[in-house]
Amino acid sequence: TLATLLLITGALAGAAEQPVANPDTGKVFGNVWRLRGDVFASGKVGVPRRLREGSPVYVGEQIRATSTGEAVLKTGDAGIVAVRPGAEFVPERFAAEGKSTDRQILRLITGSLRVISGWIGQLNRTEHRIITPSATIGIRGTDHEPYVLPAELASTAYRQGTYDKVNRGATTLEANGGNVQIEPGQVGFARDPNASGARTRALMTVLLPTLLTRVPNFYVPGAFDAELDQYSAAAETQNKTQLAQRQGGEPP
């Protein structure tokens, strides 16, 4: 009996140590709506595939744009994720079922995205987030542009870390135990605590998120921004329409 109990206990302990599988992995996150240059999607194994207009993008894939590549993805909740040149990100969680459990969590590795939130931003804002190496960005019915500036592109004017520029709505930038709300026309910044010299000051307030006095010059319009501006202006109405269709059982 003792031996049996030990075997059961060991099995349970081993099971507890196993990582929890992501239930969203493999789901369709969105489809390529607009494309210029080369943008690739890759899973944990296999050769990266070059995206085409209409190509699906799946939860768990790493999306990477070349230095001249751009893509605009339409997500399943009528949202937009525009991938800027040189950007890399992973859609880690996504569900668009017209329920309060809908979610969208992106991990931005480097570079910039333009994100226009879909109906998930209305149903479940707390689960509509962007995670970067140095911060977490939450939204409030938003059109914004998160940017991870890596060490090799940082300067004395613009430090390594996470930036976020808001076009519509608002975001909250959280990092290092602090947060700041960003309104339209503003840019927030959270310094990467692992950056060179980030911990040299006696007070750690240098690591708290802050608002910048001007928009950094690395924010430049993408090839499809004129079209995205029009999409953004009508996004709230379109989101409500498609959400009503989804909840009514109609194809959005």
For the stretch 123-148, pLDDT in tens is: 999 999 999 999 999 998 899 999 99
Which pLDDT score is estimated for 126?
93
pTM for the structure as a whole: 0.88
Amino acid residing at 95: A
State the first-to-last Cα distance of the chain, in angstroms, to the nearest integer. Answer: 58
Q: Which of 84, 94, 160, 169 is nearest to 128 (CA)?
A: 94
In the beta sheet, which residues pair with residue 171?
139, 182
Which pLDDT score is estimated for 41?
98
Per-residue pLDDT band at 15 (split at 50, 70, 90): very low
CB 112 within 8 A of CB 147: yes
Which residue reads 């060179």 in tokens? 196
